[in-house]
Structure 1
């Protein structure tokens, strides 16, 4: 896949556009990197269409003349933080396949899908499963959508796969961890053996399928162990009260509110923060500015009154999440101090509040211009565009200030986490 230069957007994009869901973005990335055939999302319009993420960043086009219906990349995917976004692991299938086929015993290459944390029985069975010859690919499915509560997500699976790779390496087998974009709700027809073959494997095994019946039953019973113990320890009435108290226990909620210019990096840092919180079991709700515009604030304009109402709606929803012990991570532009003050008042009435100013300079944001918006604003095609034809009131009361032209995403998340832990524990 040939990627355009950063800061450029092709000028011949189809006018019709489709905003892709997280699952559809996983499928698009998988198809563009050679990992699977293209599975068009339901409702895709006929004819040439520009495919965008929730931030309206054009990523690919489909239905253009003289092609086979597959998507054509026009922009790189935005990367987030976490081990499942490591470029050394999240490699194009064609690149991995070339490495496998260029090495020894390529015909005996086997892919092992690490879709769940393996039990002892699967770890013990792994050497026999992969055999004695050929490279081993440990394929980790990574969904953009947050995992269901209580389920291990892609970051944890990457760490588990790294441990399995070390075990195989110690046993004299060459093992490589590969992160594979994989939708949480995979469509019919997307099969691991087909994907494994595209990554260079002659054979593909899904590790959880080799779980012993005993281990499967014990894993299924994990969710009731606590309630079973409570029932064994207490009579019926006290047991009910203990269970009721446990169900109502929750940590203090919080709202982390990012503000900054378009292209400042606030959405990238916010998504990375939300993913890290989810990985640690602290349930987060991400309220990104562009996504909110598609749903909660659909129909609002971009005049000052509409922008203030959009920010207030975000603040209200975020405060509800916080009041129930969750962490709401919001990332609108929020250019006006008055709107941010109303959000702070709502949030502090419900729990902890953290205002994060992503202070990346205008010239840096404009140079990035992933969506081509600054160029349109300079030409007068977008009225009241923040930073160009509409003011941005830099906050004087920010709890954290980050310039993403000076710090990377991981460091930015670490700064926000330190501040969040100080106010919300």
Structure 2
């Protein structure tokens, strides 16, 4: 489906910026699309989310939400709502301190809270969380959200009269003072800046603890052999392949699964069907041959991830049994293959249709649309069948984890 020139598909970082902006924050997505006029902003599934014109975005449809503690509505609140609540509580001139938690706090930082919070009428614990995967060894969204609630409790114990933990969609480096003010704070401090120099050195040295222990336990030549064996150790890779109708919920469950695995330190590659079509399969049509080729490309990339010991989570529609069989063969040659059929009924998928594709297909405006004018061949070899109209995203992820 060709998008008009005035449409821009947002990256994960731009989605963070848009979410913050629509919630009353201060950042808008930096775009090069368009000729200076209005630009329709969409997600990777081509769902129109907002229209950007003159530096301000007007919402069209709600941004898709995912699962995990960093998506808890009690934590992930619009900046304007947080600011309204805290200022209603402490007044327009009350002292509101924002404590930014952007990495795991040590005991030393938590111990510094009694020296930071006195005098503040309220404290906002702000956890900047990005949609994209974190750098290796860094806390991701779920971990930062959990840590923020622990810092909240520690700040209350340190004597702060009111403390709120807030997840901030953010992928732009250190959280700025402007973003903190948008949430109602009049001053801001980064908790990690309270870390003593000797603790900083100890944290920095954690990466060599295992290597140092090996060198102490073994003679030099043997230590090198042990280190090399560990460095080249490779776990069996896995391909988790979701299939189902458009709107069935497969992408939502796949993203939640990938985020949960990432949070546990399992490096995971997400291959969503719509996103793949923006890059790997750009230019392919929607006839049967093109769809088969798209699925085969996804399967090939997923098998490479599995071959190197990673976990690939793929979520295309994959309507044909023959295409899924090719993916299975590729994946099983590289590692393990788990097929998940998201069997949400067609009428439910149509009712959820954020992109309006089903309505267009019913009117004959989209040819060969799966479930309407093109068949979906339900798999008879699925390792798991999930109906997202009957189970929550969290329960669906738990079922997949049980199979894994």
Output the TM-score relative to the length of structure 1: 0.91
Structure 1 segments, 4+ long, off by >4 Å, are 42-45
Assess if the C-alpha contact under 8 Å between 2:23 and 2:78 holds in 1: yes
- Structure 1: where are the runs of 5+ without partners? 1-12, 421-425
Aligned with 1:292 (options 276, 279, 289)? 276
Q: What CA distance in whole angstroms lies between the structure 2 residues aligned with 1:250 and 1:60?
A: 44
TM superposition shift of 1:39: 4.0
- Give yes or no for the alignment of 1:84 onto 2:87: no
- What are the equivalent positions in structure 2 for 1:1-400 lying under 5 Å apart? 16-43=6-33, 45-63=35-53, 68-104=54-90, 107-173=94-160, 174-183=162-171, 185-186=172-173, 191-400=175-384
Q: Could you tell me how far apart the structure 2 residues matched to 1:165 and 1:250 are?
A: 39
What TM-score do you get using the length of structure 2 for normalisation?
Answer: 0.96
Q: Distance in 1 between matches of 2:281 and 2:225?
A: 42
SS of 1:61's partner is strand
2-structure distance, mates of 1:60, 1:343:
36
Q: Residues 404 and 412 of structure 1 are in contact (CA less than 8 Å); yes or no, is this contact kept in structure 2?
A: yes
**How well do the aligned residues superpose, as a CA RMSD in angstroms?**
1.6
CA separation of 1:330/1:382 partners in 2, compared to 1, >3 Å: closer, same or farther?
same
Q: Distance in 1 between matches of 2:356 and 2:5?
A: 14
SS of the residue aligned with 1:164?
Answer: helix
Q: Per-residue displacement from partner, 1:42-88 (whole Å, max 9, x unpaired)?
A: 4555212110111111111112xxxx430111010111110000111
Deviations 1:109-130 (A, max 9, x none): 1110000111122111112112
Superposed CA offset, 1:348-384 (max 9, x none) = 1111111001111111111111111111111211110
Gaps of 5+ in 2: none
Q: Secondary structure at the match of 1:71?
A: strand
SS at match of 2:94: helix
Q: Is 42-51 or 203-212 further displaced after alignment?
A: 42-51
Q: CA deviation at 1:14?
A: 7.4
Distance 1:39 1:16 in 2: 15
Q: What is the alpha-carbon distance in structure 2 between the residues aligned to residue 285 and residue 179 of structure 1?
A: 24
Q: Secondary structure at the match of 1:131?
A: coil
Deviation at 1:299, TM superposition (A): 1.2
CA gap 1:69/1:343 in 2 versus in 1, 3 angstroms: same
